[in-house]
């Protein structure tokens, strides 16, 4: 079983798609790593040698921010935005969409389930 950056990679997948199980590694990055190390993209994760696993670990540590390190960077960035009271930080603080989406309708993922407000009668 390949364990890279604290993540158990799925054994039955190819290296190309198996590396995407690591937070911060997408398809482009995994292909780039495989090309750099001259690893066949169609090779299964279970067929990786210890040497190849070590090379992948080394590249991820030296060149990319992944897993916990990347999560820490993202939370620091959001904290910085909220601390300087920027508009984006305010949207993060209020749990509203940050990138200019409409909120009159939609935005249910960010806002949560509907809270029905009772209608007042005169």
Q: What percent of the chain has pLDDT over 70?
A: 99
Per the structure, the complete domain to which residue 98 belongs is given by 85-111
Inside any domain, residue 77: no
As for how many domains the chain has, the answer is 2
Residue 81 scores a pLDDT above 90? yes
Of 115 and 89, the one with more pLDDT: 89
Q: Are residues 54 and 102 in the same domain?
A: no
pLDDT, mean of residues 72-82? 96
Inside any domain, residue 75: no
Angstrom distance (rounded) from CA 97 to CA 107: 7
Residue 75 scores a pLDDT above 90? yes
State the alpha helices, DSSP H only, in the chain: 15-18, 27-37, 50-63, 67-83, 87-93, 108-111
User: Residue 70: left (phi > 0), alpha (psi -120 to 50), or beta?
Assistant: alpha
**Sole residue written with tokens 């040698």:** 49
Residues with Cβ within 8 Å of 70's Cβ and at least 6 positions away in sequence, in order, are: 23, 24
Angstrom distance (rounded) from CA 11 to CA 2: 7
The confidence score (pLDDT) of residue 5 equals: 86
Of 60 and 122, the one with more pLDDT: 60
The confidence score (pLDDT) of residue 24 equals: 93
Inside any domain, residue 105: yes
CB 110 within 8 A of CB 95: yes
Q: Are residues 18 and 53 in the same domain?
A: yes
The confidence score (pLDDT) of residue 2 equals: 81
Inside any domain, residue 16: yes
The confidence score (pLDDT) of residue 73 equals: 96
The confidence score (pLDDT) of residue 117 equals: 84
Inside any domain, residue 78: no
The confidence score (pLDDT) of residue 35 equals: 95
Angstrom distance (rounded) from CA 63 to CA 45: 21
The confidence score (pLDDT) of residue 80 equals: 97
């Amino acid at each position: 079983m390949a364990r890279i950056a604290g993540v158990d990679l799925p054994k039955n997948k190819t290296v190309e798609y198996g590396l995407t199980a690591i937070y911060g590694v997408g398809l482009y990055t995994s292909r780039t790593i495989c090309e750099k190390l001259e690893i066949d993209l169609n090779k299964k994760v279970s067929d990786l040698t210890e040497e190849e696993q070590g090379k992948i670990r080394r590249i991820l540590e030296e060149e990319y921010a992944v897993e916990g390190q990347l999560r820490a960077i993202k939370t620091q960035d959001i904290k910085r935005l909220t601390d300087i009271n920027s508009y984006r930080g305010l949207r993060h603080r209020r749990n509203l969409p940050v990138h200019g989406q409409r909120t009159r309708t939609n935005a249910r993922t960010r806002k949560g389930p509907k809270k029905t407000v009772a209608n007042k009668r005169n």
